[in-house]
């Protein structure tokens, strides 16, 4: 079975062959031109059927993507629930061990121990810090919404307004 682009290439080739014959003054009613036209019509029907099959396949790919996105959401929600449970149980166990003055619980399968984390820094007011403890970064982003709104009035290098095409299947 031929692919869509091969069928399209064949149609293009036949159309160019007919065009060349007509440009060379061959009568449109001659057998050669008429045979090519019949072949072109048959090829076009094959191409349209192939295009419809590709469209059905595209639609099934889109549906599968939607299902996968929903499954990703479901799994993300499940992961978040597990993370919350883990944090709650961790904090509860840490608080209970601290309350009872236990630094370590030893079991043949699992040892639970309270250890100190390295020092971390929490800055409540960055303006109160001396300059030597500040790091400056600048992030510049294009305001694409404003550029799009002003596209008729502006023109400069580095910006291109592109209009693309898409397939719509109903």
- DSSP helix/strand/coil, 72: helix
- DSSP helix/strand/coil, 52: helix
Is position 62 within any domain? yes
Residues 159 and 147: beta-carbon distance below 8 Å: yes
Q: Which residues, 6+ apart, have CB-to-CB distance to 46 below 8 Å? A: 2, 7
Is position 11 within any domain? yes
Report whether pLDDT(1) > 60: no
Is position 90 within any domain? yes
Query: Whole domain around residue 58: which residue ranges?
Result: 1-100
Is position 41 within any domain? yes
Q: For residue 82, what pLDDT is reported? A: 97
Report whether pLDDT(39) > 90: no
Average pLDDT over residues 109-136: 89
- Measure the CA–CA gap between 160 and 156, rounded to whole angstroms: 9
Residues 104 and 113: beta-carbon distance below 8 Å: yes
Is position 143 within any domain? no
pLDDT tens sequence across 67-108:
999 999 999 999 999 999 999 999 999 999 999 999 999 999
The phi and psi torsions of 130 (rounded to 5 degrees) equal -65, 155
**How many structural domains is the chain composed of?**
1
Is position 150 within any domain? no
Is position 167 within any domain? no
């Amino acid at each position: 079975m031929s692919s869509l682009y091969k069928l399209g290439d064949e149609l293009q080739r036949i159309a160019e062959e007919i065009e060349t014959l007509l440009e060379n003054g061959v009568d449109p009613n001659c057998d050669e031109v008429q045979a090519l036209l019949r072949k072109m019509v048959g090829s076009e029907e094959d191409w349209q059927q192939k295009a419809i099959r590709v469209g059905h396949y595209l639609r099934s790919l889109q549906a599968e993507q939607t299902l996968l996105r929903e499954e990703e959401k479901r799994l993300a929600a499940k992961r978040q629930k597990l993370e919350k449970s883990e944090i709650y149980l961790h904090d509860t166990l840490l608080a209970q061990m601290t309350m009872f003055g236990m630094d370590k619980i030893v079991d043949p399968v699992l040892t639970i121990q309270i250890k100190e984390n390295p020092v971390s820094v929490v800055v409540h007011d960055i303006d109160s810090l001396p300059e030597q403890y500040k790091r400056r970064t600048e992030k510049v982003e294009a305001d694409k919404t404003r550029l799009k709104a002003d596209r008729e009035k502006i023109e400069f290098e580095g910006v291109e307004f592109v209009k693309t095409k898409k397939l719509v299947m109903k």
